[in-house]
């Protein structure tokens, strides 16, 4: 399972490729794609999936019983990770033919971790389609390193090791290379370096490219580290490790027959507050569930409301692991360790959806799966983060729990989690889907 998890992390440099990776795995397991703009027909035991904006994906296995009776068993996670997006008109032409790019920060990245690395570019590109309302989408991934963000030498910034406030606009612009005058005038005539690179990579005329959403990513493969290879280290562990672990559990249980309807929901834009049409704050999951209830047992709204009342959601987003160098940052009695099993997240001020009921359900699932489980609670003087669970409950008044695997260096360009924790979490997710 860990090998597959690492391959999927490597194949998913952005939210778009993550959704493609998941869609390919679902297709391979016999899931049928449903297009939101078409009429759907479904059958009991059928396996379906739907994408939204190419960056969120939802898989459903129809249960034996009606959803109003058996409910939905939902595991949610997110496809996006903090990093840098390339702005339009990004090219900045410097001395000696050097071209760098104007970028914008996405989410709360640890900026210092992005310097002096081989970086590549991936995302999606829109070219002209049959009419203005239907541009054609292309996913693109350069795969090889194409740029870097060089640090400033310590001689020009003697205080760098005393803490330095980085400016995204000044300090974080990736350098793409240097070009002669002829090359620069050619790229300018094609709409700039980015469009000219995209044209070559996709085999299209750069003038056909209308727009793009491109991100930088570190060219480093997922790897195991630690004396006994107990740690998993990779970019984008938060939250692709949970997305791929829920996928693993869904595929593992796909041929079982269950009364409940299994749902895997991978939203986009959690790192910026989930406020998009493909984010957890949107009606996308509720609409999908309403549609399945209507197709399974009719339009009456009361049936949908019963289905919601009979459902449970595991909101899976990675948690902070106790860091041996910074013990003082953690709660004295509830600091999950890497290797200690999945983590239930608790917050008295309801930043997490977990309550005693949701936690009890998850801890029982762990017990049934033979898996140890830990708590994360913030140090009482430290404000923590938030996640999907409570945002979703604004759309759906579901019972549920916020949980995740414990990781170090959340939002660093490369994060570290535990091998055993992901294997254990896959067992708990499979147990949830099976019951």
Question: 157 to 176, contacts with Zn ion by CB under 5 A?
Answer: none
CA distance 411 to 102: 21
Q: Pick the stretch among 17-25, 136-144, 313-321, 331-339 that binds Zn ion (CB under 5 A).
A: 313-321
Residues contacting 287, CB < 8 A, separation 6+: none
Q: Closer CB to Zn ion, residue 226 or residue 385?
A: 385
- Dihedral (CA of 239, 242, 247, 250) sign: negative
Q: Pick the stretch among 90-98, 165-173, 234-242, 298-306 that binds Zn ion (CB under 5 A).
A: 234-242
Closest among 2, 10, 1, 4 to 235, alpha carbons compared: 10
Q: Closer CB to Zn ion, residue 238 or residue 248?
A: 238
- Tell whether residue 317 is a contact of Zn ion (CB under 5 A): yes
CB of 350 to Zn ion, least distance (A): 18
Residues of 390-399 as b/e, b for ≥16 C-beta within 10 angstroms? bbbbeebebb
- Tell whether residue 268 is a contact of Zn ion (CB under 5 A): no
Q: Give me the residue whose beta carbon is nearest to Zn ion.
A: 239
Question: 87 to 146, contacts with Zn ion by CB under 5 A?
Answer: none
- Tell whether residue 402 is a contact of Zn ion (CB under 5 A): no
CB of 317 to Zn ion, least distance (A): 4
List the one residue from 54, 190, 238, 421 that touches Zn ion (CB under 5 A).
238
Q: Closer CB to Zn ion, residue 238 or residue 290?
A: 238
C-beta atoms surrounding 296 within 10 Å: 19
Q: Which residue has the tokens 């299209």?
A: 204
- Tell whether residue 421 is a contact of Zn ion (CB under 5 A): no
Q: Closer CB to Zn ion, residue 145 or residue 384?
A: 384
Q: Closer CB to Zn ion, residue 91 or residue 318?
A: 318
CB of 228 to Zn ion, least distance (A): 27
Paired strand residues for 403: 316, 344
CA distance 276 to 302: 28
Residues contacting 80, CB < 8 A, separation 6+: 15, 55, 106, 107, 239, 268, 269, 270, 271, 272
Q: Closer CB to Zn ion, residue 19 or residue 198?
A: 19
Paired strand residues for 44: none
Which residues sit at the interface with Zn ion, rule CB under 5 A? Answer: 238-239, 317
């Amino acid at each position: 399972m860990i090998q597959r998890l690492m391959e999927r992390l490597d194949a998913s440099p952005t939210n778009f490729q993550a959704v493609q990776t998941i869609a390919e795995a679902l297709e391979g397991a016999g899931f049928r794609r449903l297009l939101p703009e078409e009429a759907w027909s479904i059958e009991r035991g059928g396996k379906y999936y739907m994408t939204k904006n190419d960056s969120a994906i939802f898989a459903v296995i129809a249960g034996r019983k009606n959803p109003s009776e058996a409910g939905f068993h939902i595991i949610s996670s997110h496809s996006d990770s903090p990093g840098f997006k390339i702005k339009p008109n990004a090219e900045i032409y410097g001395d000696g033919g050097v071209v760098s790019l104007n970028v914008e920060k996405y989410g709360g990245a640890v900026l210092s971790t992005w310097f002096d690395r081989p970086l590549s570019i991936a995302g999606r590109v829109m070219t002209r389609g049959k009419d203005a309302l239907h541009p054609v989408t292309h996913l693109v991934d350069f795969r090889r390193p194409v740029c870097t963000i060089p640090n400033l030498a310590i001689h020009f910034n003697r205080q760098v090791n005393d803490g330095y406030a980085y400016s995204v606009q000044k300090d974080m612009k990736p350098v793409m290379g240097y070009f002669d005058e002829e090359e620069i005038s050619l790229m300018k005539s094609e709409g700039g370096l980015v469009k000219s690179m995209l044209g070559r990579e996709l085999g299209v005329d750069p003038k056909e490219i209308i727009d793009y959403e491109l991100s930088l990513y570190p060219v480093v493969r997922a790897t195991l580290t630690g004396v006994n290879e107990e740690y998993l280290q990779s970019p984008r562990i938060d939250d692709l490790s949970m997305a791929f672990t829920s996928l693993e559990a869904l595929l593992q249980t796909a041929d079982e027959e269950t009364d409940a309807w299994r749902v895997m929901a991978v939203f986009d834009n959690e790192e910026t507050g989930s406020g998009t049409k493909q984010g957890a704050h949107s009606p996308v999951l509720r609409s999908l569930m309403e549609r399945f209830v209507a197709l399974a047992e009719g339009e009456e709204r009361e049936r949908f409301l019963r289905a919601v009342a009979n459902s449970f959601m595991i909101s899976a987003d990675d948690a902070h692991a106790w860091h041996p160098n910074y013990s003082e940052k953690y709660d004295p009695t509830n600091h999950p360790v890497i290797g200690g099993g999945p983590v239930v997240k608790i917050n008295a001020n309801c930043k997490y959806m977990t309550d005693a009921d949701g936690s009890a359900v998850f801890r029982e699932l762990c017990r049934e799966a033979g898996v140890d489980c830990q708590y994360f609670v913030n140090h009482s003087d430290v404000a923590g983060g938030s996640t999907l669970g409570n945002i979703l409950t604004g759309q759906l008044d579901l019972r549920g729990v916020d949980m995740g695997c414990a990781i170090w260096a959340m939002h660093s360009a490369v994060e570290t989690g535990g091998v055993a924790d992901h294997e254990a979490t896959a067992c708990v997710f499979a147990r949830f889907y099976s019951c």
